[in-house]
Structure 1
Amino acid sequence: MLFAGLDVSTQSCKLIVIDTQSNKVVFITQVNYDAELPEYNTLNGVIKNTEEGVSESNPLMWIEAIEKVFVRLVTSNIPQDKIKCISVSGQQHGLVSLQKNGELSHPVSKLWNDFSTQKECDYLTQAIGGKENMIKEIGNTQRTGYTASKILHLKNNYPQHYENTTTFLLVHNYINFYLTGGVATMEPGDVSGMALSHPEKNTWSEKIIQAIDPELKSKLPPIQASDKSIGFISKHLVQKYNFDPQCKIDAGCGDNMYGAIGTGNLEEGVITMSLGTSGTVYTFMDQPYVDKTGEISLFCNSLGSFMPLLCVSNLANGYNQFLEQENLTHDAFNQLVYKTKAGNNGKIIIPWFEGERTPDVPLATPTYFGFKLHEFNKIHLSRAIIEGAVLNLYQGFKRMPIKAKEIRLTGGLSKSPVWRQIIADIFNLDVLPVEGEGAALGAAIHAAWVWNKEKGKTTGIIETASPFIQLNEDERAKPIPENVLIYKHQKKLFNALSENLRKADNGDIFKIRGELL
């Protein structure tokens, strides 16, 4: 009883196989794009040397990575012909454009962290009658991270490529297209992040489609339920990698939706926080929550319910750059942080290193507050970097209408005791790291759940997931009362700085900086 999950993320492709009889993960492998596919010229999975704000990848790189993990599966002791169902987790919002023959009509995919479509976002918002009308129409604002503006950008800047496109897909849909040998479909979870439909309705917005192109609707595939399979694995992959011809491909979903499953975030009150290139905070909700500012995204999950989500685009990027710049290991960074006290004596970095998604300031740059000249050193900068990242997350999180019980932490930085403790202190919640592979594990669990449903079995998603969720109680971080008090004041300071930067009386300071450059 084997089930597989593929996670096609920004920086890597991961394959995990679970056995639902022994309740064990039996196979894991990963391909890092930069290291193992250097011919695609990427840094952190993104094509190098592009203009500021542009973040793109070649979708063929993802296919080649999948073929590499399949080769490793074949050479393992795992009987791949016993895999019953495969589910795909994909980085959200990325746009893939296909011709009639299934080949790419545009050679790259704009990714979730691409900030180059602000002009298109502004146009669509104006066409709908402003921000409030946009939120009424789709439950969200138009943001550069979402997909609608990427489609309009393609139409405006590569009209021939747009005309040649017969099908637009998201990242995980494109992988499904490859796995099935040509099935083009979408599902509500990932679609809810396109800014082309309202998550409660699961129908395309006629107003936004008309604003982009009346013919766009013919280029969008049908939307089917998230809890069903879309077909079987292709004959080509059966022959090449010895899969069972009856191996199903389920509808798949976005990485955040599957990250929720992989961390056991399946009931209200549990919060998942993912610390990667970006930082996300999300939870399970039976009823939709529409944020009147649009800063909290309204998404569907992969189970038929809803998932309010906060995403900041700056999280590990500043941290990783600091480690590289100062030639530091993770442990050495932790030791530097321990040399300072909570609150850093009022020194703060607003960590908008490469624009920011939440708050929505795509042209933003980092701001350093409270530093004297001699304090621009490794010790004070290390704490300011980590506190700034967590404070930026908290500023968005406080808008969520939830009574949080605890934070389930996933991603590479969840292994750091310093990150865990500072998150616990700033959020004033217990922080519990989750062992395992996050979105890839969630995908495999979802595959098992869908396969059981289609076999007439009544196993629920919580029952299916529970044996695989490993909570690391030994590394639980609890808030330290004196730090909580300090951070209460620091949160006020961070909030005031953030608002002042965005509401400067003399105009958009980040736009003025751009004009200077």
Structure 2
Amino acid sequence: MCHRRSPDYSGNTYLGLHLGTDKFRALILDANLKAIYFSQVRYDVDLPEYGTKYGTVTDGGPMEFLACPVMWVKALDMLLNSLESQGADMHSIVAVSAAGQHHGCVFWSDLGLRRLCNLNPHLRLHEQLPESAFELIRSPTWRDTSTDKEVLEMTQAVGGSLEMAAITGSRTYARFTGPQIRKVFKQCPEHYERTPRISLLSSFVTSLLIGGMAAISVCDASGMNLLDLGQNKWSQKCLDACAPDLARRLRKPVASSQLQGHIADYYVKRWNFRPDCMVLSGTGSKGAELAGVLVEKDFIVISLDVSDTITMPLTKAPHLEEGHVMRHATRPDQFMGLLCFRNGLVARTIICEEVAKGNFDQFYAMLDATPKGNGGNLAVHFYDREILPISKGVLRWDPTMDNQQQECLRGVPSFETPEMEVRALLEGQIIHHCAISREMGFGPDPNTKVIVVGNDAKYHNLLQIVADVFNTPVYKRSGPEVCLLGSAFRARYAFYEHRERPCNCRACRRRGCREPKLSFHEFFRNVPSGLTLAAEPDPDSAKTYAPLFGRISQMCQLLGAQGAQFLDSKMNL
């Protein structure tokens, strides 16, 4: 046996970061995995100089949703200052992990790379990485759907939608990184030519932390329409369909569990980080979300946030014509399924402003004044172009609406009361989500646990609608945002995997003293999941909602047909 003295890790802390759509958050866990410090920067409120709404600017071209990368740099600086001002001992942080909103990307300049590698601790981050550090001063985000022509071009180049889905796990989507890069190559060829590196937002944050260029993890890379999902490497066919000399700008993708290095000296000198603080590969928001749930199998996660999503772990990669199959962040040989619904919190906020002057407590309390099923009054609110199905517009149907009549295309202008408007919106959203999930094979079976997370998971009335429509019990997790918690858990596991395991000295290896490495879920198996039962379906819920599924599908089809006509006209311009 090894006679070396066991180190004391009881004072260690672990930092998780999440660069989200509308805010940048940070969480520090202590050695017992208790949340001890939290901070957030809301772009719209705390960084008003960038002029964002829900984290993006929309004054560019049609369907463009962009953000300035300097805003994210400044937000990171503000987060670390906030943690320090709260009294956090930054020197106790032994590992950091970052998550970022999927699909968004950053185009670095040569000057930016040089500045990144030579950060001066006497200056703030954004003072050293201004707009000149980036070839594009406005980066595309996941909400951007301005790349329909590029989607068509890439799809045709690889041999069709089914071939793209077979290679990458998803058909070509307008918001995915591949079409966004192709659009930059076509419209700004001089900027593309000068770009030495392209980062996803998760690897962008990781690059800031290590003071150098971090590689993209395979988990996040699988949301680009560029990764060969079966081989865990870039697909040359997809790269060729996207832009020239792209592999050099992306670098090779790496395992999500791989360390990217130690924290840059800049952070050691400015915030007193320890020099050996490890920085893990970043991952996408949904990968971190699954890591934070701490449920091993038989569950789906419904996130009610800026976008609504349904995520579930998959042991094998199914071939889907719609939806996404991506690499799992903590199970190297497994996958995750993802359905994304673009009109989530944004649509709820618009109606909340109309009927409750932006007061969400009052907004959700209005549900108590209307019966389940809303007397057959339903609404679809696709203010932004929806993803599943591709459609845009607002449509309200009362119970007398006949889908065979011309008036069904217009619907009714409004419902009788604000309370009916609220229930029509919320039930319409959840029925739509459930219908799509069933079509894609993501619908829960009797043994599946439905876990609801996100900004709106705190409203019990909404969770009751989820339970009734999905006809299954619904659980929620108390405490920090699940995605942020997952990032911190990944940092904790990285410390175990790369430093804490039994001694690796020659004597121990020769004597076989080393214990088998625990998987991520084995390591956290005894940690309470924090899940509590939030709502159970009423016995008559299936009878109430079953007739409404068909009507929601019809309404979406009508909006989709109108959207297809708009798309055809746009493609012909």
* SS of residue in 2 equivalent to 1:29: strand
1:462 maps to amino acid:
H
* Cα deviation digits, residues 283-317 of structure 1 (max 9, x gap): 112222221x2x22010111212101111111111
Q: Which moved more, 1:105-114 or 1:481-490?
A: 481-490
1:514 shift after superposition: 7.2
1:387 maps to amino acid:
E
Alignment partner of 1:342 is 2:342? no
Distance, in Å, in 2 between the alignment partners of 1:134 and 1:51 is 27
Alignment partner of 1:498 is 2:556? yes
Contact 1:421–1:479, Cα closer than 8 Å, also in 2: yes
Unaligned stretches of 5+ in structure 1?
none
Return the index of the structure with the highest Cα Rg: 2
TM-score (norm 2): 0.84
Alignment partner of 1:437 is 2:477? no
1:508 maps to amino acid:
A
Distance, in Å, in 1 between the alignment partners of 2:482 and 2:493 is 16
1:323 shift after superposition: 1.4
1:4 maps to amino acid:
L
Residue 232 of structure 2 corresponds to 202
Contact 2:181–2:243, Cα closer than 8 Å, also in 1: no
Distance, in Å, in 2 between the alignment partners of 1:142 and 1:122 is 8
- Match among 468, 476, 480 for residue 534 of structure 2: 476
- Change beyond 3 A, Cα 1:353–1:95: same
Q: What CA RMSD, in Å, does the superposition of the two structures yield over aligned residues?
A: 2.1
Residue 4 of structure 1 corresponds to 15
Alignment partner of 1:28 is 2:72? no
Residue 253 of structure 2 corresponds to 223
Distance, in Å, in 1 between the alignment partners of 2:61 and 2:243 is 27
- Match among 395, 405, 408 for residue 367 of structure 1: 395
- Match among 552, 564, 567 for residue 508 of structure 1: 564
* Cα deviation digits, residues 64-99 of structure 1 (max 9, x gap): 111111112222332110111000010010011112
Residue 70 of structure 1 corresponds to 80
* SS of residue in 2 equivalent to 1:184: coil
- Change beyond 3 A, Cα 1:468–1:311: farther
- Change beyond 3 A, Cα 1:286–1:170: same
Contact 2:396–2:414, Cα closer than 8 Å, also in 1: no
2:564 maps to amino acid:
D
1:169 shift after superposition: 0.9
Distance, in Å, in 2 between the alignment partners of 1:469 and 1:396 is 32
TM-score (norm 1): 0.93
Residue 298 of structure 1 corresponds to 325
Q: Which moved more, 1:58-67 or 1:207-216?
A: 207-216
1:8 maps to amino acid:
L
* Cα deviation digits, residues 110-147 of structure 1 (max 9, x gap): 00011111111011112222212222232210001211
Contact 1:296–1:396, Cα closer than 8 Å, also in 2: no
- Match among 498, 502, 507 for residue 454 of structure 1: 498
- Change beyond 3 A, Cα 1:17–1:116: same
Unaligned stretches of 5+ in structure 2?
1-11, 114-132, 399-410, 502-516
* SS of residue in 1 equivalent to 2:535: coil
- Change beyond 3 A, Cα 1:374–1:319: closer
Distance, in Å, in 2 between the alignment partners of 1:125 and 1:23 is 45
* Cα deviation digits, residues 140-199 of structure 1 (max 9, x gap): 100012110000010111111111111111001011111100133011100000010222
- Change beyond 3 A, Cα 1:41–1:373: closer
Residue 119 of structure 2 corresponds to none
Contact 2:432–2:549, Cα closer than 8 Å, also in 1: no
Contact 2:93–2:277, Cα closer than 8 Å, also in 1: yes
* Cα deviation digits, residues 439-461 of structure 1 (max 9, x gap): 11100000111110112523432
- Change beyond 3 A, Cα 1:32–1:469: farther
Q: Which moved more, 1:340-349 or 1:411-420?
A: 340-349
Q: Superposed, which structure 2 residues align to 1:165-184 within 5 Å?
A: 165-184=195-214
* SS of residue in 2 equivalent to 1:351: strand
Alignment partner of 1:315 is 2:311? no
Distance, in Å, in 1 between the alignment partners of 2:91 and 2:345 is 38
Contact 1:296–1:400, Cα closer than 8 Å, also in 2: no
Alignment partner of 1:389 is 2:432? no
Q: Superposed, which structure 2 residues align to 1:80-119 within 5 Å?
A: 80-101=90-111, 102=113, 103-119=133-149
* Cα deviation digits, residues 8-40 of structure 1 (max 9, x gap): 1011111101113x3311111111111111111
Identity %: 25
* SS of residue in 2 equivalent to 1:47: coil
Distance, in Å, in 2 between the alignment partners of 1:56 and 1:374 is 32
2:424 maps to amino acid:
A
Contact 2:377–2:424, Cα closer than 8 Å, also in 1: yes
Residue 66 of structure 2 corresponds to 56
Residue 275 of structure 1 corresponds to 304
